[in-house]
Amino acid sequence: MTVTQEEVFDKVRDVLVDALGADEEEIVSDAKLVSDLGAESIDFLDIVFRLEKAFGIKIEQGEMIPDNVLQDSQYIQDGKVTDTGMTELRARLPHADLDEFDASRDVEEFSDIFTVNTVVKFVQSKLGDQ
């Protein structure tokens, strides 16, 4: 059975409401998880666990959010992601829109790539793989 984008969005919205204590109206497609919805690092673990439960999928560590790229010195120089780092991020995050981030490459702004839509696209790609 194919799950529509709307159905995925509705479930993702419920997950984010529960995990972040956000209001339903705040969960719009381009809302940024950290700067708009107040997510902290531990919330991402919560979100991953809840997505697994809601969609019956298995998400490996670092799959939705790569956990070792920004700590790797070959990918980061002077607080900016290098060309090699961007290539790695694009390979690891096919569900994210990295074009805006590519303009600044500032590590401090990395969390902004995680929007509600990023999560929806990630779940859709996982459901498509099943």
Partner 1 sequence: MRWIWIDRILELEHARRCVAIKNVSLAEEMVHDHFPAAGNRPATPVMPNTLIIEGMAQTAGILVGHANDFREKVILAKISRATFHDVARPGFCLRFEALIDRIDSNGASTSGSVTLLDPADDKQSKLADIELLFSHIDKNMSGLAFPEHNFVFGQQFKDVLRQSGFDSP
Residue 73 interacts with partner 1 (CB under 8 A)? no
Binding mask 89-118 for partner 1 (x = CB under 8 A): ------------------------------
> 52, 63, 109, 112: which one contacts partner 1 (CB under 8 A)?
52
Residue 38 interacts with partner 1 (CB under 8 A)? no
Closest CA to 113 of 102, 123, 124: 102
Choice between 26 and 52, CB closer to partner 1: 52
Give 68's contacts (C-beta < 8 A, 6+ positions apart). 62
Closest CA to 119 of 43, 73, 21, 23: 43
